[in-house]
Amino acid sequence: MGKPTGFLELARVPPARRDRRERLADWNEVYLPQAEQVTREQAARCMDCGVPFCQSGCPLGNFIPDWNDLVYRGRWRAAYERLAATNNFPEMTGRLCPAPCEAACVLAIDRTAAPVTIEHIEHEIIERAFAEGWVEPRPPASESGRRVAIVGSGPAGLAAAQQLRRAGHRVTVYDADERPGGMLRYGIPDFKMEKWPLERRLAQLEAEGIDFRCGVAIGDAIGWAELRAEHDALLLAVGARRARDLDVPGRELDGVVMAMDYLCAQNRAIAGAALPPGLDAAGKRVIILGGGDTGSDCHGTALRQGAVDVRQIQLWPAPPSERAPDNPWPEWPLVFRTSSSQEEGGERDFAILTRRLRGEGGRVRALEAARIDMAIGPDGRKRPIEQPGGEVVVPADLVVLAIGFAGPELGTAAAELGVALDPRGNVAVGPDFATAADGVFAAGDAMRGASLIVWAIADGRGAARAIERYLTARPA
């Protein structure tokens, strides 16, 4: 039950980050491991609340108080088992999750906001579990003889694959890219998560008997309908890679690139491919449009590539430093945050509306924009209005567009399978992850829109349960 007075006696100690200069010199992860004693003390701060808001804040429903207590008591193996009960890939959420659990922690209610370091404790549990050899392949005891195809090998697809495989089904995961992992491999920079945790996990999945078919674009080599026909069920976990674009004059100029292309190229470069010069920020003045996590990843990438100047610009004004009154705990706090990339250098600018990109010789040279204020429109929604005389011109050699995603790249899938889309262009599903087509399910960003990895895993697990029910209801 943790230590009742732990939170009173012990301050929050988040994991340390490596020195900024050292970080910028390589692509390795930013965070340093923590001494076991420190982690156990941090776990002791958990109050084992009667109503654990952390757990409801976590899309996976991780048994956070349980494993905090076990870590506090040094029962790491039991903690790992509790953690693995709800989360297939804690090593990923332990690195990449923005930790809504910590925002919902009861110790985050007051201004001092010193929640339990839940995410880091999760990270320590899973890394210890791997190191101790507790994470073993758990192939099914018996085969059901049913076949399930999963398209997309991001976290949603992988989580579903593992759950379904463990239930005894034959699972084949298809991916158009050459290696499995989706965003985990191609979207996330190494400084946030290196590639070895992914490989390590993939090895377990393969050992459990999951069949990976990479470099296979469904719709080309194999038809969607054909794929469906060959399996008892089909899961669409193709993500939401369709990026939102910027509709301003000058968008067509060289040096204006999409964030995903930019991040992906760097990831491939680390894996051994050549970095296309157009996607190398070395010696350039870089503008990143968009204030989200993707923008932030681009920010860190540009700094490491050797940009002379990095400036991250977002349309919305900077959020307040503390929760606004209408944003009370345990809601996700809309407050000003500084990511590890942002603390490494560069500048940030807020409330700026891009009007056009100015170029020279077909290459981008500057961004023209206006400072804006927020006003409430007649429809009651906030909208930007330009400040009089607020024009700005920012010189730039590389403009990275990180302004969001517009939905899944489905190709002919919808038509071929008879899958319906929702108004935002995502795959429409019912509460049981079922699409309009019989036996076709969807999970993760493909049905939710771009979101967190933790949601992807949760969806993958949920879809696996739904598919299991679907299969059980239809005997072979």
Partner 1 sequence: MHPGGLHDPSLDRDACGVGFVAHIGGNKSREILEQALEVLRRLSHRAATGADPETGDGAGILVQVPHRFFKREGLRLGFDMPHRRGYGVGMVFLPPDPVRRRACERVLEEAIAEEGQRLLGWRDVPIDPAQIGPVARAVLPVIRQVYVARRRLVPTAFERRLYVIRKLTENRVRERAAEIDPDGRFHVASLSAETIVYKGLLLPARLGAFYRDLQDPDLVTAIAVVHSRFSTNTFPTWDLAQPLRFIAHNGEINTVQGNRNWTNARKSQLSSGKFGGRIDRLFPIIVPGKSDSAQFDNMLELLHLGGRGLPHAMMMMIPEAWEGNPDLEPERIDFYRYAATLMEPWDGPAAIVFSDGHLVGATLDRNGLRPARYLVTTDDRVILASEAGVLDVPPHMVRARGRLSPGRMFLIDTASGRIVDDEEVKREVSGRFPYGRWLRDNVFELPDVPAAEDPPTPSADELDRQQRCFGYTLEDLRLLLAPMAEDGKEPVGSMGTDTPVAALSDQAPNLFAYFHQLFAQVTNPPIDPIRERLVMTLDTNLGPDGNTFEETPEQCHSLHIGAPVMNNHQLHAIACVTDGVFDPTRLSLLYPASGDPDALAAAVDRLCAAAVEAVDEGRNILILSDRGVDRDHAPIPSLLGLSAVQQHLTRLGIRMQAGLVVETAEAREVHDVALLLGFGAAAVNPYLALDTARALAAAGQLGALDPDEAERRTIAAIVDGLLKVMSKMGISTMQSYRGAQIFEAVGLDRDLIDRHFTGTPSRLGGIGLAELHREVAERHARGFGPEQTGADLPAGGHYQWRPDGERHKWNPATIAALQAAVSLDSAARFAEYSRLVDDEDGALCTLRGLLELDDGGDAAVPPVSIDEVEPVAAIVRRFATGAMSFGSISAEAHETLAIAMNRLGGKSNSGEGGEEERRYQPDDNGDSRRSAIKQVASGRFGVTANYLVNADELQIKIAQGAKPGEGGQLPGHKIDERIARVRHSTPGVTLVSPPPHHDIYSIEDLKQLVHDLQSVNPAARISVKLVSQVGVGTVAAGVAKSGAGGVVIAGYEGGTGASPLSSLKHAGLPWELGLAETQQVLVANRLRDRVRVQVDGGLRTGRDVVVAALLGAEEFGMATASLIATGCVMLRKCHLNTCSVGIATQDPALRARFTGQPEQVVAFFLFVAEEVRRLMARLGFRRFEDMVGRVDRLRPRAGAARHWKAARLDLSPLLAAPDGEVRSCPGDGQRVALDQHIDHELVRRAEEAIDGGPPVDIELPVRNIDRSVGALLSGEVARQHGSHGLPDDTIRVRLTGSAGQGFGAFLAAGITLELEGEANDCVGKGLSGGRVIVRPSREATFAPEENVIVGNTCLYGATAGEAFLCGLAGERFAVRNSGARAVVEGVGDHGCEYMTGGVVVVLGPTGRNFAAGMSGGLAYVFEREHTFVKRCNLGTVELASVREESELWLLYALIEDHVRATASPLGNRILDNWEMMLGHFVKVLPLDYKRVLAERRAQRRATTARPRLAIVPGTRP
Choose one: 89-97, 103-111, 262-270, 444-452; the region binding partner 1 (CB under 8 A). 103-111
Q: Does 328 bind partner 1 (CB under 8 A)?
A: yes
CB of 65 to partner 1, least distance (A): 8
CB of 79 to partner 1, least distance (A): 12
Q: Does 55 bind partner 1 (CB under 8 A)?
A: yes
Nearest to 404 by CA among 423, 424, 421, 384: 424
Secondary structure element (H or E) that encloses residue 89, with its range: none
Report the distance separating Cα 284 and Cα 60, nearest Å.
41
Strands 347-349 and 309-313: parallel
CB of 397 to partner 1, least distance (A): 47
- The label of the residue with tokens 């930007």 reads 384
CB of 138 to partner 1, least distance (A): 7
Q: Which of residues 3-42 bind partner 1 (CB under 8 A)?
A: 4-5, 7-8
A 10 A CB-CB count for 204 gives 17
In angstroms, the Cα distances linking 352 to 65, 318, 369, 456 are 43, 10, 6, 32
Report the distance separating Cα 227 and Cα 417, nearest Å.
10
Three-class DSSP category at 120:
helix
Per the CB < 8 A criterion, the answer to whether 270 and 253 are in contact is no
Token readout for 128 is: 């210890």
Q: Does 427 bind partner 1 (CB under 8 A)?
A: no
Cis-peptide into 330, omega within 30 deg: yes
Q: Does 61 bind partner 1 (CB under 8 A)?
A: yes
Token readout for 200 is: 């390590």
Q: Does 107 bind partner 1 (CB under 8 A)?
A: yes
Q: Which of 10, 109, 113, 214 binds partner 1 (CB under 8 A)?
A: 109
Nearer to partner 1, 1 or 229 (CB): 1
Nearer to partner 1, 161 or 440 (CB): 161
Q: Does 335 bind partner 1 (CB under 8 A)?
A: no
* Number of shown-chain residues binding partner 1 (CB under 8 A): 37
Strand partners, 352: 371
Q: Which of 12, 75, 195, 213 binds partner 1 (CB under 8 A)?
A: 75
Per the CB < 8 A criterion, the answer to whether 233 and 463 are in contact is no
Report the distance separating Cα 276 and Cα 8, nearest Å.
53
Report which DSSP code applies to 319: P
Choose one: 261-269, 293-301, 323-331, 369-377; the region binding partner 1 (CB under 8 A). 323-331
Per the CB < 8 A criterion, the answer to whether 316 and 341 are in contact is no
Nearer to partner 1, 81 or 211 (CB): 81
* Interface mask toward partner 1 for 123-162; x: CB under 8 A: ---------------x--x---------------------
Q: Does 380 bind partner 1 (CB under 8 A)?
A: no
Q: Does 326 bind partner 1 (CB under 8 A)?
A: yes
Q: Does 52 bind partner 1 (CB under 8 A)?
A: yes
| Contacts with partner 1, residue ranges (CB under 8 A) | 1, 4-5, 7-8, 47-53, 55-57, 61, 63, 65-66, 75, 81-82, 85, 104, 106-107, 109-110, 138, 141, 167, 325-326, 328-331
